[in-house]
């Protein structure tokens, strides 16, 4: 310490050397050593958590990614295979002259019952193309059910 009360280099070093000594003396060295060893032992023997293992294992991440890709590809392939093609079935043309009388009668019967199989939708035809019977069927299909 200088005469004016300020610290010289040596005084500063001396105070620095004393700094923390009393606090450090209060630390129980043996207890600290045992506590550190116990924690280290715990860490060494504790199995890594399942979650941490899963997220940090590159092998499992790769396998999971591969499964997702395979499953996705399967779904897409299945959807493509079952999708309607959008193409109309080829129309088979028939020469009426080749048909027998019985076949012609059967054909006429099937043509005379247009609404029997399925109701007529206004989307399928123009109203002007419909017969009175077909119009009645269409109106009936549009009426709300009670």
37 scored as a contact of another protein (CB under 8 A): yes
DSSP the chain: --TTS---HHHHHHHHHHTTHHHHHTS-HHHHHHHHHHHHHHHHHSPPPHHHHHHH-HHHHHHHHHHHHHHHHHHHHHHHHHS---PPPPPPP--GGGS-HHHHHHHHHHHH-TTSSS---TTTS-GGG--HHHHHHHHHHHSPP-
Residue 3 is a binding residue for another protein (CB under 8 A): no
Q: Which is nearer to another protein, 26 or 50 (CB)?
A: 26
Least spacing, CB of residue 59 vs another protein, in Å: 23
Interface segment toward another protein; rule CB under 8 A; list 20-28, 54-62, 78-86, 119-127: 20-28
> Does the protein bind another protein through residue 34 (CB under 8 A)?
yes
Note whether 52 binds another protein by CB under 8 A. Answer: no
27 forms part of the interface with another protein (CB under 8 A): yes
Q: Which of 17, 45, 81, 82 binds another protein (CB under 8 A)?
A: 17
CB of residue 13 to another protein, shortest distance in Å = 5
Q: Is 104 in the site for another protein (CB under 8 A)?
A: no
Q: Which residues bind another protein (CB under 8 A)?
A: 5-7, 9, 12-13, 15-30, 32-37, 39-41, 43
């Amino acid at each position: 310490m200088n005469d004016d009360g300020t610290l010289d280099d040596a005084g500063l070093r001396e105070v620095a050397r004393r700094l923390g000594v009393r606090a450090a003396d209060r630390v129980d060295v043996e207890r600290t050593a045992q506590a550190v060893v116990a924690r280290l032992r715990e860490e060494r023997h504790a199995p890594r958590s399942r979650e941490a293992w899963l997220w940090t294992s590159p092998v499992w991440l790769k396998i999971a990614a591969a499964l997702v890709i395979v499953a996705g590809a399967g779904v897409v392939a299945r959807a493509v295979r079952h999708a309607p093609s959008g193409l109309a079935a080829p129309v088979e043309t028939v020469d009426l002259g080749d048909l027998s009388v019985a076949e012609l009668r059967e054909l006429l019967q099937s043509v005379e019952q247009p609404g029997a199989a399925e109701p007529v939708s206004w989307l399928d035809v123009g109203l002007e193309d419909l017969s009175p019977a077909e119009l009645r069927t269409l109106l009936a299909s549009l009426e709300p059910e009670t």
